[in-house]
Amino acid sequence: MNIIVMKFGGTSVGSTKRIQEVAKRVEEKVNAGYKCVVVLSAMGKTTDQLVHLAKELNEQPSPREMDMLLTTGEQISIALLSVALHQKNIEARSFTGWQAGIVTDKVHGKAVVHEVKTDALLESLEKGEVAVVAGFQGVTDKGEITTLGRGGSDTTAVTLAAALQAEYCEIYTDVTGVYTADPRVVKQAQKIEEISYEEMLELARLGAGVLHPRSVECALSHKVKLVVRSSFEKVPGTWIKEQDQMEESLQVRGIAHDMDVARIKLLGLPNRQNILAELFTALADAHINVDIIVQSEHQVDQMSVAFSISEAEAEAAQKVLLAKQSILGFQDMLFEGGLAKVSAVGVGMMTRPGVAANMFACLSEANITVKMVSTSEIKLSCVIERDKAIEATQSLHRYFGLGADSKVSV
């Protein structure tokens, strides 16, 4: 079967009029001979509204009950699209995540997909139906409903594309593709016609909100052909593909920024063999992601460790560390919020030196202080004050020549 997966985000299905437009897009693919699996997010701000309702009743609602509540949003979307397709005389059947065979681990709110049982979807496609699947959700092997975290509908779509061996997966959103920077922040940002899996994964992790990082990881792992395009305009999008299929890469492909950063520093941590393992295991057990880590030794028997995390998880991280203070043995804990991270990403960094020097020079010229630094083969990230993040993003985009009226020369 010529299977494709089409995913539409919340703004794309934000009203019945928008759902009718989605139905037209699906109709075009059906008429072109494709077997379609359509993955939907909840309508507009439905998820936010549901969270608000729960917190009116309880400031700390049960994660299990939150998953039960939040999954209802996508069920509205899939039922309405199926109704719209029926109006066009197109056979369609809606599936919740668990009906679609998406099996996850048991971590409510941040579940990871372990398996996709494709029998029900394949049976539907063989009957000539459009399979309309609720994104963002699955079920444990014990029958507990779970969600994949915000943006998890992208992960649902790519996971299904991999399991069904689809020809490609389309991610429809409110932008026309992936840009060299957030076009809402940098007016000169250019749309990128094609980008490597690795570059897209770094941009997604570093704050580019176009794709969920786990969806890109899945696409990379299973070599799923992926394209990001607009559900509002019929224009070419951005293809995410293997690096060896692309032309020679620019040194810097894009600039990303993340406004949700905080830093925790532990002073007087005992300098013993397994202390770092104990520290970060405690955070990992609480499902808290740590980003940049800086270690410094001031005495033979003591050291300091600083690390960045999402500010949204800062309170939980501090509670975990204070509860473990007697075991970990640190003397003091310092917290700094109001931070951001700006990053330059590009596969071309691997073969062309100078990105770090240029990035630090740019930030220095703008009088922006760098608090932490993280590097990999294809990215360089700096933690800075949050109120300087927009200026830094604009300056770096201009400095590396990524604007519509210039070319990269470094």
Distance (Å, rounded) from C-alpha 119 to C-alpha 13?
27
Distance (Å, rounded) from C-alpha 249 to C-alpha 253?
8
Q: What is the pLDDT of residues 219-246, one digit of tens each?
A: 999 999 999 999 999 999 999 988 764 4
| pLDDT (0 to 100) of residue 409 | 38
The CATH superfamily of 3-174 is: Acetylglutamate kinase-like (3.40.1160.10)
User: β-strand 226-230 against 238-241: which pairing, if any?
Assistant: antiparallel
Half-sphere exposure of 100 (CA within 13 A, CB side): 32
- Say if residue 347 is exposed, middle or buried (CB neighbours under 10 Å; 0-12, 13-18, 19+): buried
| pLDDT (0 to 100) of residue 248 | 52
Which of the residue ranges 153-167, 241-255, 304-318, 326-340 would you say has the lowest mean pLDDT?
A: 241-255
Percent of the chain with pLDDT over 90: 83
| pLDDT (0 to 100) of residue 298 | 67
| pLDDT (0 to 100) of residue 241 | 87
Query: pLDDT tier at 45 (50, 70, 90 boundaries)?
Result: very high
Token digits for 241?
């593909």
For residue 375, list its beta bridge partners. Answer: 380
Q: What is the CB neighbour count within 10 angstroms for residue 405?
A: 7
Q: Is the pLDDT of residue 148 over 60?
A: yes
Task: Work out the widest C-alpha separation in the chain, in whole angstroms.
Answer: 75
User: Where are the chain's structural domains?
Assistant: 3-174
Rg (CA), the chain: 23
| pLDDT (0 to 100) of residue 249 | 55
**DSSP-based three-state secondary structure for 192:** coil
What DSSP state is assigned to residue 65?
H
Are 289 and 387 in contact, with CB atoms under 8 Å apart? no
**DSSP-based three-state secondary structure for 303:** strand
